[in-house]
Each structure stands twice: as structure tokens, then as C-alpha cells.
Amino acid sequence: MRRPASLALRLTGFIGIAITLVLLAFGWVIGRSVENHFAEQDAGELRALAQAVQQPLAAASSDGDIEVLQRSLAASLAGHHGMFLYVAGADGQTLFSSPGLDLTAIARSIPPAPRIETDAFRVWQDPPRTLCGIILRMGPNASSAEQPFLVVLATAIDFHLHYLTDFRRTLWITALGAIALTIVAVWFAVHHGHAPLRRITAQVQRITSDQLHVRLSPETVPIELTELATSFNNMLGRLEDAFHRLSNFSADIAHELRTPVTNLMTQTQVALSSVRSNDEYREILYSNLEEYERMAQMIGDMLFLARADNGLLKPSLADVDLVAEVRALFRLL
């Protein structure tokens, strides 16, 4: 049968698992918070760029001068580092595209979003860059269905991704280190917390048969061990009482057995001291038989008491003639 794990190991394992789950959940929440922070930051930059290109697009809807629109859109990108813009007309013709990046395929493959929200962001690779962006319908009208321009707003997020990678690595290393230190601290705390139990064990180990009067002091142990100390003291009391009764019983039995054994030895020595007749030997044997019967009765009584002490006797009901018993009692008087 496999031996159960120690209490220290159980407590350390349980608390270690609980703390590990808490720290992992805490690290996940922090990681998501940082990701959401960068996403909101990107959303703010894209909103600012959308506001900057809104006016040139409204003006282009009225005058239709493409060259003026392109210059205005290029000017709108000024001050927005790492951001890219693509504008297409209602017929799908490209009106403006940021230098060094072709967003035509993205504009044709992703449906427009109603507004700039982090949930609507799309992330894609354009080696060696990673971009995050959104596609909108923009123009002078409020209805998105009547807005003639398809606008792709994108920003490079490589810096954010590198930062998040380093942050996650540092976060998980710190969390694992904290878990390891916490488990070690919990083990030392549990080991120190079991010191009163070890002291009780040492006191119990020093108790022998001649020290059954020794008792543990419930006032000096933690409250969780008070019931244990009290129960152990009660057990010692029962053992001491049983030991005293056993000692007294053994002394009484030895005293009771010594008399018939002495009589048997004396009568046998007297019988062997000289030649006897058959009648004399017969008388001695009858006397010895009485002593044997006395000893047999004592042994029977001992067995009866042993069976009674161990609960081996099964009581049975029987009819008793009280009149006969009382008459027999008076005859003995």
C-alpha cells in the first residue's frame, strides 16, 4: 500500500498551486492590459490621421482636383511617423498611396469598418514590417454607403511587438521566480508551523511504562492541537488505570496461586519423605486433587475475567427459581 504524502508536502503543493494560478492569472491580466494600452494608443493615432484626411477628402468631393487632393493627403501624413495612408475612389481607382507601401491588396480583401475601434483592427505582415490598420469609407456625407472614398489607415507596430515580447519574457521570468521563492517560503513556513507537533511527538516518545503519570500541557500548544493533547492525556489516564489494575491483578493471582502450589509441594515432599501405605497415598492424592480443583477454578475465573474485559461474553437469558435460590442461601447461613 502506497504511503500517503506528508502534511508539509500536501500544504506546500496546495498553496504552491494556488499561488501559481494567481500569479499566472495576474501576469495574463497585466499582459492583456499592456496590449490593450498599445491598441488604444494606435487607435488614437489612427483617429488623428483620419481627422487630418477628412478635410482634404471633403474638399476633393466638391472640386475633383486629384493633384490638390494628393498634395493635401501627403501633407496630412506630416507629423505622423510610421503611419501609412491609402485612398481609392468610388470606382476603385487609387487616388493616393503612401510611398514604400502598397495597400491595394489589403483595401480589396478586407471589408470597411463602421468606425475606428480596436476590435476592428487588422494585423498583417509586410516584410520586414508588421502593420496594424483599418479600412473606412470616408467623404462629406454622413451615410457610409454614400461616402465615395475607400481609405486604408495603417501604422507600424514593430516597436510595440518587440516591447511586448520583452515585457512578456520579463513578466513570466519574474512570475516563475516569484512562484519558486513563494513555494520555498511556504515550505519553510509549514515546516516551522509543524514544530509544536514535533515537540509533542518528542514528549510522547519519552513516555515509558513507568512514566504513565506524565501528561501533556494543552495550554502550551497551539489551539489546533489542544484537542489532540487533551485526547492523548485521556488515553494516558486510561492506560495508567489499566496498567495499575493489571499489576494488581497479577499480584493477586500470584498470591492466590502460591498457596495451592505451596500445599502441593509440601504434601508431595511429606509423601516422599518415607514409605507410605496405599491408603495414605490415596489420601494425599485426594488432598492434591482438591488443590488442583482450586487452581482450575482460579484459572477458569481468570479466563472469565479476560473474556469479560475483551467483550467476548455474550449474555443469555434464563429462568431462575428465586424461591429455591433463597432457600439455598438460608441453608448456607
pLDDT digits (tens, 9 = 90+) for 233-275: 888 888 888 778 777 777 777 777 788 888 888 888 888 888 8
Q: pLDDT grade, residue 166 (50/70/90)?
A: very high
Q: pLDDT grade, residue 229 (50/70/90)?
A: confident
pLDDT of residue 313: 65
Q: Rounded to an integer, what distance in angstroms lies between the CA atom of residue 322 and that of residue 227?
A: 51
User: Percent of the chain, pLDDT > 90?
Assistant: 2
- What domains can you pick out in the chain, each with its CATH number? 7-177 (3.30.450.220), 218-311 (1.10.287.130)
C-alpha cell at 297: 477454578
Mean pLDDT of all residues in 73-85: 83
Could you report the per-residue pLDDT of 272-313, keeping only the tens digit for each? Answer: 888 878 888 888 888 888 888 888 888 887 777 777 766 666
Site of grid cell 482450575: 296
Q: pLDDT grade, residue 142 (50/70/90)?
A: very low
pTM: 0.57
Q: pLDDT grade, residue 61 (50/70/90)?
A: low
Q: pLDDT grade, residue 62 (50/70/90)?
A: low
Q: Rounded to an integer, what distance in angstroms lies between the CA atom of residue 247 and that of residue 261?
A: 21
pLDDT at 210 over 80: no
pLDDT at 227 over 60: yes
Site of grid cell 485426594: 286
pLDDT of residue 146: 59
Specify the higher pLDDT residue, 58 or 144: 58
What interhelical angle do 66-76 and 7-63 show, nearest 10?
A: 150
Q: Where are the alpha helices (DSSP H) in 194-277?
A: 195-205, 226-273
- Got the DSSP string for 261-328? HHHHHHHHHHHHHS---HHHHHHHHHHHHHHHHHHHHHHHHHHHHHHHHTT----------HHHHHHH
Report the chain's mean pLDDT, rounded to a whole number: 82
Mean pLDDT of all residues in 146-157: 84
Q: pLDDT grade, residue 201 (50/70/90)?
A: confident
Q: Where are the beta strands (DSSP E) in 42-200?
A: 83-88, 94-97, 122-126, 129-138, 149-156
143: Cα separation from own chain's centroid: 58
Could you report the per-residue pLDDT of 97-116, keeping only the tens digit for each? Answer: 888 888 888 888 888 888 88
Among 145-149, 175-179, 222-226, whose mean pLDDT is lowest? Answer: 145-149
Q: Rounded to an integer, what distance in angstroms lies between the CA atom of residue 49 and that of residue 37?
A: 19
Mean pLDDT of all residues in 159-175: 89
- Count CA atoms within 13 Å of residue 75 on its CB side: 10
